[in-house]
Every structure is written in C-alpha cells, then in structure tokens.
C-alpha cells in the first residue's frame, strides 16, 4: 500500500466518523431545547462521568417534567384542606391527642385538618417554663407549655436573603429551614417528621419571667440594654448571642418535641468534616458494600432522605434516627444556605444505588412544573409564614428537575424494573 493511498484511506475514515457523529447529534437534539436554567456551581471532583451524565439528562428532560401535572390538582386540594383548618379547636386537646398518637404510618395524625390544628397549637399555646436544651451543637431552647407538652425553639440567626457560602454544612442552623423542611415532607408524603412552625416569643414577657435558673445563667445584657441569650450547647459562646428585635421578640422555629425512643445510626454516606474523603466520595460502587449490611427497606429509606436533603441542600445528616423501622427527619436546619449551589453528591445514595421507591417516584412525578415550591409557599401562608426568598423556591424546583434527571440516568443504565422498587 502506497503512502498516498494510506493517507487517502485514513482521511476517508475520519470523514465517515465525523458524518456519523453529526448524524447522531442531529438525531438527539432535533426538537429539543435546553432548559432555561442557568447552571449553578457543581463539584466535578467526585465521579465526574456520573455528574456529566446526569447533567446531560437534565438538559434534555421530556416535556412532562417541565410542565404541571394535572393529576396533582386533587392532591394539592387535599393538602390545603389539612392545613387550612384550625378554627374551633382547643390547643391543649390537640397537642394531647397528638402526643398519644400511635401509628405505623406516621408520627402524627394527618387527617381531618389535624396538621393545621397542630401548627396553630404550637404557635399560640401559652408557655409555662423555658430552659436550655443542652443537647446538640447549637443554641436552642426547650419550652414547656401549659398543657405539659414540650417544644424545641431554634432562634433566628439570619435574614431570609442571607446567603451562606463555604462548605455545605457551614454557618448556624437556619430556623426557616426547619419549618420549610416540614412542609416539604408533607408535600412529598414523608410523614416521619416533627411539625414545625414559625413563632415569635417576647423576651420580657415569655422568657425572662419563666426562665429556669440554668437559662438565667446563659443570659446577658447587650449595649442597648436588651436581654440576650447565648445558651448551652457544644458550640455556644458568650459572645455569640441571640437578641430580641425592636419589638422585644425573638423569632424562631417552634418544633414539637418528640417524646420517643429513637435508635441512632451513623449514615453510610456521612461526611468527615475534614479534608479527608470518606469511602463513598471516592468509590461510586460504594452502594454494593451498603447492600451487604442493610435491608432493602432501609436503603430505600436512606435514598428518600437523600432526595429530601438534596431539595433543601442539607449536607449535614451524619447520623439518622429510627423509630418503628422508619427514619425520622430530625435536625433539618442546615438547609436553604445558598440558592445558587446544588451539591449533587447529596444524591450519592440515589445515583450510586440507582434504586428508588416506586411510591416516592410517583409522588415526585406529580410535583413537576413548579408545583412543589408553589404548594409549600401556599401551605406555609395559612400559618402566616414566609419561609424563603424567591431564589430559594426556584432552586427547589430546579433541584427537583435534577432528581428527575438522576432517576432517568439510572433507568437509562439499568431499566425501570431494576430501578423502581415496590416497598
């Protein structure tokens, strides 16, 4: 074979490959337009091929995921009836019945307007005693109500438009994230979460006269003469206080105390909180090891939690609590930090295991086209709560699209029968 002939033949092969590539590209992009979302910051140091594949599916999702699902109308109407029902109820009776609730389906009653009644009771019940809640890493108070029920109170640390930069677990807990997480769980049909609502407490009327001696010891006066609290916790410091606003009130998340016995487990997908990488961060086949140690039900439960955490960007679930063989969604204050960042590695349980409960998938598909954020905002409004900025609401809908894309990536890789599991 002469040199000229070999060169000509090589050129022909290159041309043939180029034409095939162009044909494939044209075939896969005809009639498709990329989503009108600007791409937020994404980490590409973990499994870059996985992330790139997910983003490919994200940019070319079918139309059904970009528009509202008409099947959701009835479900939204049912949710509204649950939260827009509070008149004519006695707060003590509501909380007493809630405290005695026994069910394998949920932590609290979720029919006949019960959620709205519970939130109204949490928001308005008289406070009998206030103490430090020493467990945990950040300041929170324990409120004893006149009916003897208890609430955790996580005070406001940031304005809603404050953007938390840095690590996914950076900053103080966000009180609005705790409440947002509750409504999110209700819309997702995740019923293993404590009811939570925004409440304002007057420092001189509701706290100082009813404070325990231990709480009094963690109070100081600021330069303007207002009483401030620094509390008792792992990271509590005397110079990092919570002070009342100009009306003498402290805003926070009032969370119904769960008087239950939980079993605590370390999450397989926990972070190291140092520069050291965990095994799951370096091995995209990590799920094979998890499958050998946990039941399918528990793995699917952990994947549900990952979906939940990804939507609010809570990357701080290093452990999880279990009650009646269900993971309880506690400590959701590290969400809603930065609406421009989507940490895809929170979804590692989903894209590494490529499994999802079929019930969860059906619920997620109903929430397309902005229905998720719209419903959360609507339900929170019945308790007078503004929980997030418009940027955060948009971010939640955008992240839902990325969950769709991740599931489609898994289905494309393994088929729907292997990915979607009945449980």
Backbone angles phi, psi at 287, to 5 degrees: -60, -30
Q: Does the annotation flag 365 for ligand binding?
A: no
How far apart CA 114 and CA 83 sit, in angstroms, is: 8
45 an active-site residue?
no
- Residues 292 and 285 sit within 8 Å (Cβ to Cβ): no
Q: Does the annotation flag 138 for ligand binding?
A: yes
How far apart CA 198 and CA 182 sit, in angstroms, is: 11
- Residues 314 and 173 sit within 8 Å (Cβ to Cβ): no
How far apart CA 288 and CA 292 sit, in angstroms, is: 7
Q: Does the annotation flag 206 for ligand binding?
A: no
Q: Does the annotation flag 245 for ligand binding?
A: no
Q: Does the annotation flag 27 for ligand binding?
A: no
Backbone angles phi, psi at 324, to 5 degrees: 55, 40
Q: Does the annotation flag 154 for ligand binding?
A: yes
Number of neighbouring beta carbons within 10 Å of residue 223: 6
Q: Does the annotation flag 403 for ligand binding?
A: no
Number of neighbouring beta carbons within 10 Å of residue 315: 20
**Which listed residue (206, 304, 316, 397) is catalytic?**
316
Degrees to nearest 5, angle at CA 126 with 122 and 128: 115
DSSP H or E stretch at residue 392: helix 390-414
Q: Does the annotation flag 258 for ligand binding?
A: yes
The gap from C-alpha 186 to its chain's centroid, in whole angstroms, comes to 12
Q: Does the annotation flag 294 for ligand binding?
A: no
Q: What crossing angle do the helices spanning 390-414 and 296-312 adopt, rounded to 10°? A: 140
How far apart CA 215 and CA 237 sit, in angstroms, is: 14
Please list the active-site residues.
Answer: 316
Q: List residues forming the annotated binding site for Mn(2+).
A: 173, 331
């Amino acid at each position: 074979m002469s040199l000229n002939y070999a060169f000509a033949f090589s050129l022909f092969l290159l041309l043939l490959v180029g034409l095939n590539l162009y044909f494939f590209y044209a075939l896969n992009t005809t009639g498709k337009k990329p989503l009108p979302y600007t791409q937020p910051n994404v980490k590409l140091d973990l499994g870059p091929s996985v992330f790139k594949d997910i983003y490919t599916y994200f940019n070319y999702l079918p139309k059904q995921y970009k528009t509202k699902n008409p099947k959701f109308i009835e479900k939204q109407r049912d949710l509204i009836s649950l939260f827009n029902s509070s008149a004519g109820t006695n707060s003590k009776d509501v909380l007493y019945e809630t405290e005695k609730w026994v069910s394998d389906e949920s932590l609290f009653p979720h029919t006949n307007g019960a959620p709205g009644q519970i939130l109204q009771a949490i928001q308005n019940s008289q406070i009998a005693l206030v103490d430090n809640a020493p467990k945990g890493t950040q300041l929170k108070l324990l409120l004893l109500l006149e009916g003897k029920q208890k609430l955790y109170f996580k005070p406001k640390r940031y304005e809603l438009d404050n953007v938390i930069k840095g690590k996914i677990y950076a900053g103080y807990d966000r009180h609005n994230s705790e409440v947002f997480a509750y409504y999110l769980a209700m819309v997702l049909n995740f019923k293993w979460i404590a009811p939570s609502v925004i409440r304002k407490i007057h420092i001189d009327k509701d706290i100082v006269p009813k404070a325990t001696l231990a709480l009094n010891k963690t109070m100081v006066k600021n330069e303007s003469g207002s009483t401030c609290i620094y509390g008792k916790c792992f990271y509590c410091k005397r110079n990092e206080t919570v002070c009342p606003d100009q009306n003498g009130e402290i805003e926070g998340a009032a969370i119904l105390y769960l008087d239950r016995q939980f079993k605590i487990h370390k999450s397989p997908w926990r972070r190291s909180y140092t520069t050291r990488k965990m095994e799951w961060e370096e091995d995209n086949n990590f799920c094979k090891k998890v499958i050998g140690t946990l039941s399918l039900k528990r793995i699917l439960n952990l994947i549900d939690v990952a979906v939940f955490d990804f939507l609010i960007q809570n990357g701080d679930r290093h452990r999880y609590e279990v009650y009646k063989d269900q993971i309880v969604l506690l400590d959701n204050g590290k969400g809603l930090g930065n609406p421009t960042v989507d940490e895809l590695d929170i979804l590692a349980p989903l894209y590494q295991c490529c499994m999802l409960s079929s019930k969860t998938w059906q619920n997620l598909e109903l929430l397309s086209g902005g229905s998720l954020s719209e419903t959360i905002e609507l339900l929170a409004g019945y308790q007078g709560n503004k929980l997030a900025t418009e940027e955060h609401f948009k971010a939640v809908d955008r992240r839902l699209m990325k969950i769709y894309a991740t599931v489609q990536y898994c289905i494309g890789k393994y088929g729907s029968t292997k990915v979607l599991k009945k449980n």
